[in-house]
Amino acid sequence: MTAEEITRYVVARAIWAPSVHNSQPWRFTADGGPRLSLHADTSRRLAAADPDGREMMISCGAALFGVRLALRSLGYVPETSVLPEPGQPTLVARVSWRKRADPDEFERRLASHLLTRRTHRGAFDPEPLVPDTLAALRAGAASEGAMLRIVADDGHRAALAAVIQAAEHQLRRDGERLRELARWTPAPGSTSPDGVPATSYPARPEHTEPDFPARDFARGHGWGLPPLSLATAHRAAGVAGLLTTAADRPADWVHAGQALQRILLTASACGAAVALHSQPLELPWLREFIRTQLSDGAHPHLVLRVGMVTQVSASVRRDPEDVLFPAGP
């Protein structure tokens, strides 16, 4: 493959990273050589929900992990520098590839989930996780400079669920945030290549005990997927966890994003699915509550729930050609 072909292959996989509201806040530039740059597209930052751009940088970090993993799957060793230019805060990373080394079996397996992994929304089946799944997720987060804290204690789990309930209650009453959510929640049948489509969330909220409410993507329109079965019994909340970093600078947000995509792909490779909740992390006082009460002072970025479930949801992305540009002035 030429460097240009490699770039296109890598970008076509990196764009399937998760991003807040599927805003896909990234663009890539390449000069035809064995290197590319990943930029944050600030026009896609959520002005109301994400004024500091933290979720935007987490999303870009997730795409960066996809770049690295896709290169590994082709047998290249990526050399990555995160936020390489202090004067250019939207230049998230530069990645180059020259050296070769065969990918190992685990890298191949992770890469095979880049295009097919989907965010889960709702409850899980009662089936337990495959043994060692959680250990693999935690090790994956640590290897990217973040931490996945499993919230196993019943009291802490109930507190975490209550914080999400409080956040969701607040967000549903905030006009500015609701208008922003509307921008990223296209109606069924829309051909929009971004935002959260109605094919990716259940029409009927799936409650669990304790209850971790989903975002209200349908906003009262009744949009969403019909239930797979009418059975409501024995649906589980899954294993709850918090993704955290020791510090809270933009570089830490990019590390959190790389850790997130590694966690999600590792879960997929273990046959598990992951639900994400960032509602309380968008409200400073609830984020601070989680930091001091539930994550030992580490900075929280996302609440995750991991479990087993049959997934039918579908998502959308922009065309790789729409996010890849020639490098230049």
Ligand X SMILES: Cc1cc2nc3c(=O)[nH]c(=O)nc-3n(C[C@H](O)[C@H](O)[C@H](O)COP(=O)(O)O)c2cc1C
Q: Considering beta carbons, is residue 6 or 242 the nearer one to ligand X?
A: 242
Minimum gap (Å) between residue 77 Cβ and ligand X = 26
State yes or no: residue 58 binds ligand X (CB under 6 A). yes
Residues recorded for the chain: 329
Interaction residues for ligand X, span 20-39 (CB under 6 A): 20-22
State yes or no: residue 278 binds ligand X (CB under 6 A). yes
Q: Considering beta carbons, is residue 28 or 65 the nearer one to ligand X?
A: 65
Interaction residues for ligand X, span 200-219 (CB under 6 A): 200, 214-215
State yes or no: residue 258 binds ligand X (CB under 6 A). no
Judged by CB under 6 A, which stretch of 5-13, 18-26, 83-91, 285-293 contacts ligand X?
Answer: 18-26
**Which backbone phi and psi does 106 adopt, to 5 degrees?**
-65, -40
Distance CA 147, CA 149 (A): 6
Distance CA 268, CA 276 (A): 14
Q: Which of 13, 39, 45, 121 binds ligand X (CB under 6 A)?
A: 121
Say if CB 43 and CB 206 are below 8 A apart. no
| Tokens standing for residue 65 | 């992990």
Q: Considering beta carbons, is residue 31 or 41 the nearer one to ligand X?
A: 41
| Tokens standing for residue 15 | 């764009």
**Residue 218 CB coordination number (10 Å):** 20
Q: Considering beta carbons, is residue 78 or 186 the nearer one to ligand X?
A: 186
Judged by CB under 6 A, which stretch of 5-13, 54-62, 170-178, 230-238 contacts ligand X?
Answer: 54-62
**Residue 152 CB coordination number (10 Å):** 11
Distance CA 260, CA 65 (A): 9
Q: Which of 7, 68, 21 is closest to 278 using CA atoms?
A: 21
Minimum gap (Å) between residue 126 Cβ and ligand X = 21
Residue type, 307: G
Sign of the torsion angle spanned by Cα atoms 156, 157, 158, 161: positive
State yes or no: residue 283 binds ligand X (CB under 6 A). no
Q: Which of 13, 44, 118, 255 binds ligand X (CB under 6 A)?
A: 118
State yes or no: residue 196 binds ligand X (CB under 6 A). yes
State yes or no: residue 68 binds ligand X (CB under 6 A). no
Q: Which of 44, 157, 235, 277 binds ligand X (CB under 6 A)?
A: 277
Q: Considering beta carbons, is residue 152 or 312 the nearer one to ligand X?
A: 312
Query: What is the total count of residues that contact ligand X (CB under 6 A)?
Result: 22
Say if CB 11 and CB 320 are below 8 A apart. yes
State yes or no: residue 119 binds ligand X (CB under 6 A). yes
State yes or no: residue 177 binds ligand X (CB under 6 A). no
**Which backbone phi and psi does 49 adopt, to 5 degrees?**
-80, -25
Any bridge partners for residue 302, and if so which? 243
Give the alpha-carbon dihedral of 201, 269, 59, 127, to 10 degrees: 40
Minimum gap (Å) between residue 205 Cβ and ligand X = 12
Q: Which of 310, 272, 261 is closest to 133 using CA atoms?
A: 272
Judged by CB under 6 A, which stretch of 115-123, 147-155, 174-182, 219-227 contacts ligand X?
Answer: 115-123
Interface residues toward ligand X, by CB under 6 A: 18-22, 55, 58-59, 62, 118-119, 121, 196, 200, 214-215, 276-279, 302, 315
